[in-house]
Amino acid sequence: MEIWTAFLFGLLGSFHCVGMCGPIVLALPSQQPTKLTYFLSRIVYNFGRVITYSLMGIIIGFIGQSISLAGYQNYLSVSMGILILIMVLIPTGYLNKIFPFVPFDKFTSIIKKYWGKLFGKSKISSLFLIGILNGFLPCGFVYIALAGAASTGSIFNSWLYMVLFGIGTIPIMLVTSFAGKLISSNLKSTFNKLIPIGGVVLAVLIILRGLSLGIPYISPKISVEKSTGEQKVECCHPADSTKK
Cα 199 to its chain centre, rounded Å, is: 11
- For 183-190, which contacts have Cβ atoms below 8 Å and span 24 or more sequence positions? 183/15, 183/18, 187/15, 188/15, 188/18, 188/19, 190/15
* Domain boundaries, given as residue ranges, for the chain: 2-211, 213-244
Q: Report how far residue 108's alpha carbon sits from residue 106's, in angstroms, rounded to the nearest whole number.
A: 5
In this prediction the pTM is 0.76
Q: Which of 64, 8, 60, 39 is nearest to 173 (CA)?
A: 39
**pLDDT per position in the chain (244 positions), as tens?**
567 788 988 887 777 666 666 667 777 776 666 778 888 888 999 999 999 999 999 999 999 888 877 777 788 888 888 888 887 777 666 665 655 555 566 777 777 777 777 877 767 888 899 889 888 887 778 888 898 898 888 899 999 999 999 999 998 888 877 765 555 556 556 666 666 777 788 888 888 877 877 776 666 666 655 544 455 556 554 444 444 4
Cβ neighbors of 189 (< 8 A, separation 6 or more) are none
Q: Taking a C-beta distance cutoff of 8 angstroms, is the pair 76, 68 a contact?
A: yes
| Residue type present at position 62 | F
